[in-house]
Amino acid sequence: MRARPDLIEHLPRLRRYARALTGDVNRADDLVQDTLERALAKLDLWQPGSDLRAWLFTLMHNLFVNQIRLRRPQETVMEDALDVPVSGGQMEALAARDIHEALARLPEEQREVLLLVGLEQFGYSEAAQVLGVPMGTVMSRLSRARERMRQMLAGEPAIKLKVVK
Amino acid sequence: MTAELLEQELHAYVDGTLPEARRLEVETWLATHPADAARVQAWTGQNQSLHAAFDAVLNEPLPLSLVRATRRPIMTMPFKTLTAMLAMLVTGLLGYAIGLGSSGLAPAAPAYLARDAAIAHAVFSPEARHPVEVDAAHADHLVAWLSKRVGTQLQAPDFSAQGFELLGGRLLSGETGPVAQFMYQDRIERRVTLYVRRAVAGNQETAFRHATENGVDVFYWIDGDFGYALSGQIGRQAIQRLADAAYQQLVTASAKP
């Protein structure tokens, strides 16, 4: 019992990341809950001495990706619905007004990299490990995420987003 | 510099991961390339906005359901743990102490103090960029602000004789109200934190005690209405020397009129 690592000290950071990732308190805590359950079930597979935090974030990433895959069709509809009532179709209304909105508009894979690096302070190679992608992919996603955020937060019309839809 | 390499280095510059020499070279580059400088500035701003928007989550009281989820399923728990949990449910002391396996009916508050302090230490001391809410450059303001919130005249002990400088502090929320956390760092960036909060009512004054919580050494004591806990991973003897110094200074200060 004593030797088992305690997950509780990782709770605050897992919650912070999940909150930023999902943009929703309940969805975030559900994601954390699922992550903890999976972690307890697989704790025997975790290598003592290796980074427990990175391992937990990896589990969370995998769960998040699965959720996205399942939710995809539904969510596209919701996003479209959100975009429709924008004040008289004015272009500037499509620009993200704050960091929350800008994050929500970022593709998930870019959002994950931006948050792991910019908020959770993972190194680039650690982030690559968590996400299971090469480091080059982390760097290019990070670049795209930061540039897209810059455009959105600068209040430029999100033309690219519009075209994609 | 190739475009791709430059791009990578600009990000590494923003994230503070460049070696010192490289960092200075990038700075020189930025001084003469305003477009890159503008991007770097915007990216740095994004990191700051992310922290400003989400760091508050770290201080939120932990939802009970999540604390439970960090434990083994209830059926596989040892009977002793289960009864301790039930005892805590009965006494209404839930907090994040579920499953701690405390022996008596009324959980000894100092043990919670040590555990909570160790958790707060583990959460905040690895934060490279935002370890504190208010930095030591504003030490007077920091102490006044935390004193007001916590409800007593606090003092940040001086550990410079032991090689630790005050980094700053932050306000947390705890079971018994607001908590002040002071953070110190030495030359090789090892960190210790001092955790101060109002003691649980009816608590007896305790002597100096030591606990190890998940590899974090904690020395803690109760002085009057307040509990103090000094946490760190710098070896038991080193942390004890700091705790002795803190105790001496705080007791001396409170003895003054």
A153 contacts in B (CB within 8 Å)? 42, 45-46, 49
Q: What is the pLDDT of residue B101?
A: 38
Q: 3-class SS at A7?
A: coil
Domain A7-75: CATH class, spelled out: mainly alpha
Categorize the per-residue pLDDT at B61 as very low, low, confident or very high, splitting at 50, 70 and 90: confident
pLDDT at A77 over 80: no
Of the two residues B248 and B90, the one the predictor is more confident about is: B248
Q: Which of A35-44, A108-117, B111-120 has the lowest mean pLDDT?
A: B111-120
The helix-helix angle for B34-54 and A11-22 (nearest 10°) equals: 120
DSSP state of A50: S
Arithmetic mean of pLDDT over chain A: 81
Question: DSSP string spanning A87-140?
Answer: GGG-GGGGS--SHHHHHHHS-HHHHHHHHHHHTS---HHHHHHHHTS-HHHHHH
Nearest chain A residue to B213 by CA: give it: A6
Percent of chain B with pLDDT over 70: 78
Q: Is B57 on the interface with A (CB under 8 A)?
A: yes
Q: What is the pLDDT of residue B202?
A: 61
Percent of chain B with pLDDT over 90: 38
Size of interface A-B (CB pairs under 8 A): 109
- Nearest by CB to residue B46, choosing from A7, A29, A149, is A149
Measured in residues, chain B has a length of: 257
Q: Is B82 on the interface with A (CB under 8 A)?
A: no
Categorize the per-residue pLDDT at B112 as very low, low, confident or very high, splitting at 50, 70 and 90: confident
pLDDT at B83 over 60: no
Q: Is A6 on the interface with B (CB under 8 A)?
A: yes
Q: 3-class SS at B18?
A: coil
**Residue extent(s) of CATH 1.10.10.10 domains in chain A:** 88-158
The tens digit of pLDDT for each residue in B175-184 reads: 677 889 999 9
Residue pair B239/B192 in contact by the 8 Å Cβ criterion: yes
Mean pLDDT in residue range B2-19: 89
Q: What is the pLDDT of residue A49?
A: 79
Between CA A14 and CA A8 the distance in angstroms is 10
pLDDT at B105 over 80: no
Q: Which residues pair with B220 in a beta bridge?
A: B209, B229
pLDDT at B9 over 80: yes
Q: What is the pLDDT of residue B250?
A: 84
Beta strands in chain B (DSSP E): 134-135, 164-174, 177-186, 191-198, 209-213, 216-223, 226-232
Chain A interface test: which of B2, B18, B46 (most A C-beta within 10 Å): B46
Categorize the per-residue pLDDT at B213 as very low, low, confident or very high, splitting at 50, 70 and 90: confident
Of the two residues A90 and B16, the one the predictor is more confident about is: B16
Q: 3-class SS at B73?
A: coil
The pair phi, psi for residue B179, each rounded to 5°, is: -130, 135
Counting Cα atoms < 13 Å in the Cβ hemisphere of A123 gives 5
The tens digit of pLDDT for each residue in A25-64 reads: 999 999 999 999 999 988 888 888 788 999 999 999 999 9
Q: What is the pLDDT of residue B245?
A: 93
Q: Check if CATH label 1.10.357.140 holds for domain A88-158.
A: no
Mean pLDDT in residue range A61-75: 80
B122 to chain A nearest CA, in Å? 6
pLDDT at B1 over 70: no
Counting Cα atoms < 13 Å in the Cβ hemisphere of B113 gives 28
Mean pLDDT in residue range B115-120: 87
Which residue type occupies A94?
Answer: L
pLDDT at A128 over 90: yes
CB contact under 8 A, A9 and B73: no
The tens digit of pLDDT for each residue in B36-56 reads: 999 999 999 999 999 999 998
Q: Is B94 on the interface with A (CB under 8 A)?
A: no
- Which of B114, B72, B124 has its CA nearest to residue B214? B114
Q: What is the pLDDT of residue B206?
A: 66
pLDDT at A94 over 50: no
CB contact under 8 A, B70 and A8: yes
B73 contacts in A (CB within 8 Å)? 40
Q: What is the pLDDT of residue A90?
A: 40
Of the two residues B145 and B31, the one the predictor is more confident about is: B31
Between CA B62 and CA B25 the distance in angstroms is 44
Q: What is the pTM of this model?
A: 0.69
Q: Is A127 on the interface with B (CB under 8 A)?
A: no
Q: What is the pLDDT of residue B70?
A: 81
Q: Please give the torsion angle defined by the CA atoms of residues A10, A15, A18 and A23, in that order, rounded to the nearest 10 degrees.
A: -170
A142 contacts in B (CB within 8 Å)? 11
- Nearest by CB to residue B63, choosing from A6, A29, A100, is A29
Arithmetic mean of pLDDT over chain B: 80
**Residue extent(s) of CATH 1.10.1740.10 domains in chain A:** 7-75
- Nearest by CB to residue B57, choosing from A19, A117, A150, is A19
